[in-house]
Amino acid sequence: MKHLKNYAIVVAAGKGRRVGREINKQYIKINNKPIVAYTLEVLQKSISIDGIILVVGKGEIDYCREKIVNKYDLAKVISIIEGGKERVNSVANGIAKLPKDCSIVIIQDGARPFLSEEMIEMTITGAEEVGGAIVAVPVKDTIKVVNSNMEVEKTVDRSKLWSIQTPQAFKASLIKEIYQTLSEADKEITDDAMLFERAGYTVKIIMGSYRNIKITTPEDLFVAEEMIKKEKGESNV
Q: Could you read off the pLDDT of 172-222 as tens digits, one per residue?
A: 999 999 998 887 777 778 889 999 999 999 999 999 999 999 998 889 999
Give the contacts of 222 (CB within 8 A, at least 6 positions apart).
none
pLDDT band at 1 (very low <50, low <70, confident <90, very high): very low
Task: Encode pLDDT of 89-146 as tens digits.
Answer: 999 999 999 999 999 999 999 999 999 999 999 999 999 999 999 999 999 999 999 9
Rounded CA-CA distance 55/195 in Å is 19
- The residue with greater pLDDT, 23 or 20, is 23
Q: What per-residue confidence (pLDDT) applies to 20?
A: 47
pLDDT band at 237 (very low <50, low <70, confident <90, very high): low
Q: Which value, to the nearest 10 degrees, does the dihedral of the CA atoms of residues 113, 116, 122, 126 take?
A: 0
Domain of residue 15, CATH code: 3.90.550.10
**Does any domain span residue 236?**
no
What does the pLDDT average to over 158-181?
95
**Does any domain span residue 237?**
no
**Does any domain span residue 49?**
yes
Greatest extent of the chain over all pairs of C-alpha atoms, in Å = 62
pLDDT band at 13 (very low <50, low <70, confident <90, very high): confident
**Does any domain span residue 220?**
yes
Number of structural domains found in the chain: 1
Q: What per-residue confidence (pLDDT) applies to 16?
A: 58
**Does any domain span residue 209?**
yes
Q: Print the domain residue range for 80.
A: 5-231
pTM: 0.92
Rounded CA-CA distance 96/180 in Å is 9
Q: What per-residue confidence (pLDDT) applies to 210?
A: 96
Report whether pLDDT(68) > 80: yes
Q: What per-residue confidence (pLDDT) applies to 118?
A: 97
Shortest CA distance to 19 belongs to which of 225, 222, 216? Answer: 216
Q: What per-residue confidence (pLDDT) applies to 190?
A: 83
Q: What per-residue confidence (pLDDT) applies to 129?
A: 97
**Does any domain span residue 177?**
yes
H or E stretch covering 129: helix 117-130
